[in-house]
Amino acid sequence: MIQEILAAMVGTIAFSLLFGVPRKYYAYCGLIGGAGWGVYSAAGLLWAPAQSALAATIVVILLSRLAAVKERCPVTIFLISGIFPLVPGAGVYWTVYYMVTDQLYLAVQTGYTAVKVAVAIVLGIVFVFELPQGLFRALVGRRR
């Protein structure tokens, strides 16, 4: 599991590079992406993929908002990079693969799971963005 978290951190930093994130934020992006993947992996031992993705997304968004307040920069710098490991790209790939190879039952199964994970990610983002900005300022200890 440690290797997976490290791989998620490196992947997140690499995506941050492609996304054009300033160099000074790479460490935050890597830690946020690694934390999200760690929560996803740990939650996956107990819950379904969609539930695990929701829990991991909540952690990623909370950490992203805290880092944004601390560094006084837009939250999207950390949000987009940190959510990268959780995106169900493999699920979409396998859905299309099963459709092309005429294995429709498997296509429906993997596609439904991928859609549930995507919806869980969106809901996690929406839930945490509904929290007031003042809460994060208080947690970081920063005044207006």
The domain limits of the chain are 2-86+124-140
- Reported confidence tier of residue 105, pLDDT bands at 50, 70, 90: very high
- Reported confidence tier of residue 143, pLDDT bands at 50, 70, 90: low
Say if pTM beats, i.e. exceeds, 0.95.
Answer: no
Report residue 7 as tokens: 């791989």
Closest CA to 71 of 32, 15, 19: 32
Q: Which pLDDT value is given to residue 139? A: 87
pLDDT tens figures, 126-142 = 999 999 988 988 988 86
Report the alpha-carbon distance of residue 93 to residue 46 in Å, rounded: 25
Percent of the chain with pLDDT strictly greater than 90: 91
CB-CB contact of 56 with 32 (8 Å): no
Average pLDDT, the chain: 95
